[in-house]
Structure 1
Amino acid sequence: MAMVSADNRPLRLAARYAVLLLVATIFVFPLLFMVMSSFKPTQQMLADTASLRAFLPVGDLSLDNYRDAFARAPVALFVFNSVLVTGLTVLLSLAICSLAAFSFVYMNWRGRGLLLSIVLATLIIPFETIAIPLLLIVSKLPWVGLDGLQIGWLNSYRVQIIPWIADGLTIFLFVQYFKDLPGELIEAARAEGATWGQIYRRVVMPLSGPVLATAAILKFLIMYNQYLWPLIVVQQESYRPVMVGLGYFFQLNVAWGEVMAYLTLITVPVLAFYLVLQRAFIASIASTGVKG
């Protein structure tokens, strides 16, 4: 039996890699099509879609689509706005949501179970149902900045960041992860006289790399792909993110080559962010279901 199992091991390994290769190919083909099409004239790109030439660097290749994309819209500005808004939101969200989850899991206070249930219930509320009420709120809120007191948050970075700092999904991820950490660590720290703040900074957060990476990637994707909210609250071009900027390429005549070039450019920050956190993200998957 041991010999049979050993003989079948290469076949099982080959089959596993074949399935993984197939899945990877399915995910890579759209990206490959996008990148290859960004170097081709629109007519050639449309003609190539009927064959495998769509995925190959063949034909009349040039950087004209990228040049025309920058001429049609302020692409660099849109990418900067999205990266700035997304980066700040992710950092603030990780800090605020992890603190909230720490309070829900480790600190004993009245009503925490009810409040946690309310927070998790927000996951089932579609954003479209609260978009207009939220718009009315942020349009009347005061703000003290370098220019003094201002009424309303419209046409700013803060209106794209602050409403999204805390959310039920990120809090839920931290709550579930904190529950799986060994309770003996917290008890030992409390026995040695550590404060809750010290436990949060020196005990819990150093062990939370996997959930930090997972929450950061999910939050990054949600914020970077924001369209409806920025479309409602931002009318000035100087504050528009990449998804709103995509509309520039569908005005008058649609140049699909320029669209592919624009999509390629705005995909770069997403891939870079994922590659930076890839190791911690894989560790988070590997640790799923493991109890402390």
Structure 2
Amino acid sequence: MAVITPDNRGLRLVVRYAVLTLIAIIFIFPLLFMGMSSLKPDQQLLADTSSLRAFLPVGDLSLENYREAFERAPVGLFVFNSVLVTGTTVLLSLAICSLAAFSFTYLEWRGRGLILSIILATLIIPFETIAIPLLLLVSKLPWIGFEGLEWGWLNSYRVQIIPWIADGLTIFLFVQYFKDLPRELIEAARVEGASWFQIYYKVVMPLAGPVLATAAILKFLVMYNQYLWPLIVVQQESYRPVMVGLQYFFQLNIAWGEVMAYLTLITVPVLAFYLVLQRAFIASIASTGVKG
């Protein structure tokens, strides 16, 4: 039987951190390559790809690619559109899907199991099969705007937000998390005379930090990377998100330095969003591993 000594424990800790550091470096390499490439002219960028120089700040470095990227396309507008659409969708999705999951978990009503099964079944339906019917639907729907009644949702923020507020995966995540919460908390709140909404808002949601972070990150990545749907429903430049804006850099002559600069700029909101929620996200992974 092996005896664990302080020296062995320290060696294991060093090995563990060395492995984790190596994994982190592997995941950072694409971001490092993108950032370094965005500072180099095209000829040097392509020449450096065959060596480790691609990951190093060497050669003729400048911010010229960023200046030319802003001249070629309204980068700031595209980033603003994506952040607005993604942020609004994430907030509304967390609210609506958590309410639906609360109803499926704690309220007794006829047919809830069947409806939840139908919602989960939508996860296996590819978006491409419903894209055209959804397009025909949103092109005919009415909307009350500042100028009165309007017909059709095309070329707007709402057409990029409303169809994606509720989805089966987010509801499933909340349902599974709510099922693991102690029932005694709900029963105690009911005995104290709390309404169902008060239980949802004051008892359940304060404990739902891990699942909120997990659902928010997954939803953010899906919405921020949207391409096909905005390409179909948005023709005006003023409403286009970042992924559709990427087309501007592949027209006529392709400048790879500008492409890397654009990719670096649109990656910043994703990294910022993840860094804000990283603690709750890590806690959600840890809690999932402990429950088994």
Paired AA for residue 152 in structure 2: G
- Aligned twin of 1:124: 124
Identify the residue that residue 160 of structure 1 maps to in structure 2: 160
Give me the whole-angstrom Cα distance separating, in 1, the residues matched to 2:11 and 2:39. Answer: 41
Q: Deviations over 1:101-144 (max 9, x none)?
A: 00000000000000000111111111111111100100000001
Match of 2:22 in 1: 22
Aligned to 2:54: 54
What's the counterpart of residue 172 of structure 2?
A: 172
Going from structure 1 to structure 2, the CA distance change for 1:289 and 1:176 (only over 3 Å counts) comes to farther
Match of 1:232 in 2: 232
1:99-118 correspondence runs (5 A): 99-118=99-118
Question: TM-score, normalising length from structure 1?
Answer: 0.97
> Shift of the alpha carbon at 1:3?
4.5
Displacement after TM superposition at 1:14 (Å): 2.2
- Give the corresponding residue for 2:39: 39
Give me the whole-angstrom Cα distance separating, in 2, the residues matched to 1:114 and 1:3: 55
Is structure 2 residue 272 aligned with structure 1 residue 262? no
Distance, in Å, in 1 between the alignment partners of 2:290 and 2:200 is 21
Aligned mates of 1:133, 1:176 — CA distance in 2: 31
Distance 1:278 1:290 in 2: 18
DSSP-derived class of the 1:149 partner: strand
- C-alpha separation between the residues in 1 aligned to 2:213 and 2:147? 37
Aligned to 2:74: 74
Deviation at 1:18, TM superposition (A): 2.2
Q: 1:192 corresponds to which residue?
A: 192
SS at match of 2:54: helix
Identity percentage of aligned residues: 86
Aligned-partner residue type, residue 281 of structure 1: F
CA deviation after TM superposition for structure 1 residue 4, in Å: 4.1
What residue in structure 2 maps to residue 282 of structure 1?
282
Residues 137-148 of structure 1 mapped to structure 2, 5 A cutoff: 137-148=137-148
How far does residue 55 in structure 1 lie from its aligned partner after superposition? 0.3
Amino acid across the alignment from 2:76: A
Count of residue pairs brought into register by the alignment: 291
CA offsets per residue over residues 163-201 of structure 1, 9 Å max, x none?
000000100110010001010000111111111011001
Unaligned runs of 5+ in 1: none
Greater Cα offset, 37-46 or 20-29: 20-29
Q: In terms of mean alpha carbon deviation, does 21-30 or 217-226 score higher?
A: 21-30
Shift of 1:15: 2.2
Deviations, residues 227-280 of structure 1 (Å, cap 9, x unaligned): 000000000000000000000000000000000000000000011111111111
Deviations 1:192-216, CA, capped at 9 Å, x for gaps:
1111011001100011111111111
1:84 & 1:178 partners in 2: Cα distance?
29
**What is the Cα deviation at residue 8 of structure 1?**
2.3
In the alignment, the residues of structure 2 paired with residue 181 and residue 5 of structure 1 have an alpha-carbon distance, to the nearest angstrom, of 39
Which whole-Å CA distance do the structure 2 matches of 1:245 and 1:101 have between them? Answer: 36
Deviations 1:20-71 (A, max 9, x none): 1221111100000000000000110000001110000000000100000000
Structure 1 position 16, deviation (Å): 1.5
Question: In structure 1, what is the Cα distance between the partners aligned to 2:85 and 2:193?
Answer: 39
Equivalent position amino acid for 2:273 in 1: F
Once the two structures are TM-superposed, the CA of residue 290 in structure 1 deviates from its matched residue by 4.5
For 1:143, what is the secondary structure of its paired residue?
strand
Distance 1:17 1:290, change over 3 A: closer
The residue type paired with residue 30 of structure 1 is P
Structure 1 residue 2, shift from structure 2 partner: 7.1
**Partners of 1:278 and 1:36 in 2: CA distance:** 25
Letter in 1 for 2:15: A
**In structure 2, distance between residues paired with 1:156 and 1:205:** 32
